[in-house]
Amino acid sequence: MQVLTLPSGETVPVLGQGTWGMGEQARRAADEATALRLGLDLGMTLIDTAEMYGDGGAEEVVADAIAGRRSEVFLVSKVLPENASRRGTIDACERSLKRIGTDRLDLYLLHWRGSVPLTETLEAFTELIETGKIRYWGVSNFDTNDMAELATLPGGAACATNQVLYNLSRRGIEFDLVPWCRDHHMPVMAYSPVEQGRLLDHPALKAIATARGATPAQVALAWLLHQSGTIVIPKATNPSHVRENRAALDLKLAAEDLAALDKAFPPPTRKRALEML
């Protein structure tokens, strides 16, 4: 498994597992946990979840998946902005820990920016680190100006990552946000890497996939994995899709493939507002 270094110096897999959409139907929970366990077996040991996903249901699926294997996992969860006051963040973290059945999160993210002052959330993150409830903290869905402001706050330089919407059809962040993160040695964590499946019928992806003996999803993932400083977190609930995602690591796109993808999905030439799903 290829790894990427966080600002702390710790390494994490460049290809992890997302859980958005899991935990919403009890009858599917066992299959979802089985898929996550397979991903762990294949080396995708970073698991991303959130208190919002399935109203905590996704965290319960993760609990099942990592039971007896906690030491293998780099565990990421998120606090909703409406819960992100100093006391609210700590309480939300405690609830997440209880649902997941663990005593710590490896990384805790502010899901997106809300009305609570960032200083309050950072104070809570600092307290959670001091008490051993979390190891690192970061943010999600922050644009460049948000990141620049965050960096000026007390403790703001400790931010470990910014998790954002990033895929071939959502390249706006390459204009200024990606360069900012690279300048600050901060990885970008890309969610919805295949645009929830909507990318997979694109002719350019299908043509490259056919030529390379791969699938369109693997081409989309391989393109993201080619971007330096990027962690990719696809979700899969089917074992065949889990294996397909893992195999994307072995797909090396040629220069002509990358050029064809740039032609089909042009990089930004101006600042665009941050996109979210």
Active site residues: 53
In angstroms and rounded to an integer, the radius of gyration of the C-alpha atoms of the chain is: 18
End-to-end CA, the chain: 28
Whole-number Å distance between alpha carbons of 252 and 90:
43
Q: Which residues contact 211 (CB under 8 A, 6 or more apart)?
A: 257
Residue that the structure tokens 């969610």 belong to:
191
Side chain identity at residue 101, one-letter code: G
Whole-number Å distance between alpha carbons of 170 and 91:
34
Q: Which residues contact 131 (CB under 8 A, 6 or more apart)?
A: none
CA distances to 68, 186, 262 from 273, rounded to whole Å, are 42, 20, 20
Whole-number Å distance between alpha carbons of 16 and 27:
24
Burial class (CB within 10 angstroms; exposed 0-12, middle 13-18, buried 19+) of 132: exposed
Pairing of strands 188-191, 105-110: unpaired
Whole-number Å distance between alpha carbons of 235 and 50:
13
Chain centre to alpha carbon of residue 155: 22
Q: Which residues pair with 232 in a beta bridge?
A: 15, 190
